[in-house]
Amino acid sequence: MSLRKLEGDLSIMPKVELAAIKGVGTAIAEKIIELATTGSMKALEERNTKQNTCRYPKMLSIKV
C-alpha cells in the first residue's frame, strides 16, 4: 500500500506500520509522528530559520 491510498489516521499508527508503507522508511515515519503529535517538525523549522537568515535578502524579493 502507498501513502496516498492509506485510509486512516497517521497520528495513531505505530512507527513500525508507517515504516512498512511503500516509500516511507524509518526516518520519514519519525517525521510523520513528530508532525502529528506536536504540530510542527524540527527539521522544517530549522530550514525555515536558515532561509530567513539569508545573506542576500534582496535576491529573495526578486519577481520574475
Note the pLDDT tens digit of each residue in 22-32.
Answer: 888 999 899 98
Say which residue the cell 519519525 belongs to. 30
Backbone angles phi, psi at 41, to 5 degrees: -135, 120
- What pLDDT was estimated at residue 27? 92
Q: How far is CA 2 from CA 18, 19, 22, 41, 42, in A?
A: 10, 11, 5, 22, 25
> pTM score, two decimals?
0.64
Taking 50 as the pLDDT cut, the residues of the chain under it are: none
37 neighbors 47 (Cβ within 8 angstroms): no
Question: Can you give the pLDDT at residue 16?
Answer: 92
Give the per-residue pLDDT at 54: 61
